[in-house]
Amino acid sequence: MNLVEHAIKYGLKIGADEVHVRYSRSREFSVDLEMNSISRVNYRVGSGLSILLFVDKRIAAAAVSNPSEKSVEEAVEKAYKMARASKPNVNWMGLPDPKPLPKVEGVYDVRLSELEPGEAVEIMKKGLSIVREKGNVNVMQGSLSITVSKVHIGNSRGIDCSEKYTGLNASLVAVAQEARKVGSFAYETYSSRKFDLNIEELAESVAEKALSSLHLKPVESFKGSIVMDYDFSALFFLMLTMAYNGFHVWSGSSPWRNKLGEKVAAERLTIIDDGTLPGGVKSSSFDGEGLPTMRKTIVRNGILEKYINNTYTARLLNMKTTGNAASPLDVSPSNTIVEPGDWKPEEIIGSVKKGLFISRYSGMINVVNGVVSGTVKQAFYIENGVKKYPVKECMISSNLYEMLSNITAIGCETKDKGGIIVPIVKIDNVNIISR
């Protein structure tokens, strides 16, 4: 008997009404960079089992590393004791029944699973030297990690599914320096399910960003356009996922409650959530409660069509699950795709009368009240369609929901920023505040 099955049976035996179990196992190695050098290679193997247990709508969870029959039983007992001591969640309506799962391609890559640490070291060495050749750019941190994992989910209503995955995550963090001036740090990341990392592109890009935070000129405060480069765009649309997350919709913390069928953004905006995307870094055939993942349009041509849900939130909203369970209690986006538009990046810049091209944004994007207020890093001033010079740290201030309506151009190319697949996006009427 496997441990997932054992945990479920043992939980029911000691008095639980329902049991949900997640087992995962992974091996990973990572090549780390620090202080302008390859610093070490790490190798990690580990496994864990977590149990979610329900007694009269009272819910508790327990987890153990390197589970054995004995430690699983102890954890189940612990969860049972905690659940008994807790307060019922009156909204809880039970775990889901099994459903047929889709076949999702490209989540496991044999080549990646066989990659040797020595090869990965060579790749990062190359990345490091490309950045260092730029002269004044230092690599503060970097990492290339390769993970091979397996996830197995089961519940007391008959769900029993498992899948194997591979993953590659690369990052470089660089800082430019000149004389006694230090720039702000720049980062670049890449995630994939397969061995397709282009380290040259990653290194070139991070060095360019780092250098663009030297020789800064201040800008006066003005109201104008911003062009969000891929990282900022990814952050923006990642935060926006909370607005259509069924949990936040139900709890009232999203202003998109009761807005299905209404216009929430400029007509050119279409957002898709797709857990089945071939090779997607957030793709899998089942979600965190073991139900099928799916592709669905959230915003189509500016109209809100759907929320993302798990069984719990779907029932609260009188809807159907969309296969977005992070767990039976939590909802999370899968691959988030912002559909590309028809603007070439240079055309977007060319269309800006007065504005900023922004690589990095650091600050608030508050989904509840819409406040967007924060600092702009690695940004260029644009005037009459021409990128002029990098600007000194300044603030932008606007409202998330107004910004969605003020999208006036969407790039024709997209980049996958760790499961957020976005083009560059132009937004008008944003306050740019000098400080």
Partner 1 sequence: MENQEFIDILHRLVDRGLELGAEYIDVRYEDTVNNRIFMRKGIMEAVTHNRRRGLAIRCIVNGAWGLSSTEVFEWDSLLTALKSAVDMAKASAPARTKRVKLADAEVHRDNVSSSVKIKSTEVDPGEKIKLVLEANDRIKEYGGVIKDSQITYGDVCYRKMFISSEGAEIGIEGFRTIFYVSITAGEAGVLSPAYEVIGGTMGFELFKGDRHLEVAKTASERAIRLLKASLPKGGLATVVLDNRLLGLIVHEAFGHTAEADLVITGDVLTGKIGKKIASDLVTIVDDPGPEHAYGWIPYDDEGVKARRVVIVENGVLKEYMQSRETASILGMNVTGNARAQDYRYAPIVRMRNTYMMPGDWKPEEIIAETKEGYYLKGSMGGQADMNGEFMFVVQEAWRIENGELKEPYRGVTVSGNALDVLMSVDAVGNDLKIDSPGTCGKFQLAPVDGGGPHIRCKIIVGGRR
Q: What residues from 135 to 154 belong to the interface with partner 1 (CB under 8 A)?
A: 138-141
Helix axes 69-85, 3-13, angle to 10 degrees: 40
Question: How would you class 377 by CB atoms within 10 Å of its CB: exposed for 0-12, middle for 13-18, buried for 19 or more?
Answer: buried
Of positions 267, 278, 353, 364, contacts partner 1 by CB under 8 A: 364
Q: Is 56 in the site for partner 1 (CB under 8 A)?
A: no
Q: How far apart are CA 86 and CA 55, in angstroms?
A: 10
Q: Find where tokens 């409660």 sit.
A: 289
Q: Is 24 in the site for partner 1 (CB under 8 A)?
A: no
Q: Is 393 in the site for partner 1 (CB under 8 A)?
A: yes
Helix (H) or strand (E) holding 222: strand 222-228
Q: What is the DSSP letter of 193?
A: S
The count of other CB atoms within 10 Å of the CB of residue 199 is: 19
C-alpha dihedral sign at 219, 225, 230, 233: positive
Q: Which stretch binds partner 1 (CB under 8 A): 14-22, 249-257, 291-299, 301-309?
A: 249-257
Note whether 144 and 124 are within 8 A (CB). Answer: yes
CB of 143 to partner 1, least distance (A): 8
Beta strand 271-274 pairing with 295-300: antiparallel
Of positions 8, 61, 228, 304, contacts partner 1 by CB under 8 A: 61
Fill in the per-residue mask, 87 to 126: x = in contact with partner 1 (CB under 8 A), - = not in contact: xxx-x------------------------xxx--xx-xx-
Q: Is 395 in the site for partner 1 (CB under 8 A)?
A: yes
Q: Which is nearer to partner 1, 128 or 410 (CB)?
A: 128
Q: How far apart are CA 117 and CA 41, in angstroms?
A: 8
Of positions 12, 161, 175, 317, contacts partner 1 by CB under 8 A: 175
Q: Which stretch binds partner 1 (CB under 8 A): 8-16, 85-93, 106-114, 199-207?
A: 85-93
Fill in the per-residue mask, 192 to 221: x = in contact with partner 1 (CB under 8 A), - = not in contact: ------------------------------
The count of other CB atoms within 10 Å of the CB of residue 180 is: 5
> Cα angle vertex 99, ends 96, 101, to 5°?
130
CB of 291 to partner 1, least distance (A): 20
Of positions 10, 23, 29, 357, contacts partner 1 by CB under 8 A: 29
Q: Is 82 in the site for partner 1 (CB under 8 A)?
A: yes
DSSP per-residue codes, 267-301: TT--EEEETT-TT-TT--SB-TTSPBP-EEEEEET
**147 CA to centre of own chain:** 17
Of positions 160, 371, 415, 418, contacts partner 1 by CB under 8 A: 371
Note whether 21 and 328 are within 8 A (CB). Answer: no
CB of 192 to partner 1, least distance (A): 21
Q: Find where tokens 């029932």 sit.
A: 315
From the list 126, 128, 141, 137, the residue with the least C-alpha distance to 207 is: 137
Q: Is 78 in the site for partner 1 (CB under 8 A)?
A: yes
Fill in the per-residue mask, 332 to 361: x = in contact with partner 1 (CB under 8 A), - = not in contact: ------------------------------
Q: Which is nearer to partner 1, 71 or 408 (CB)?
A: 71
261-300 residues in contact with partner 1 (CB under 8 A) are: none
Q: Is 85 in the site for partner 1 (CB under 8 A)?
A: yes
Of positions 2, 5, 15, 44, contacts partner 1 by CB under 8 A: 44
Number of residues that bind partner 1 (CB under 8 A): 77
CB of 359 to partner 1, least distance (A): 14
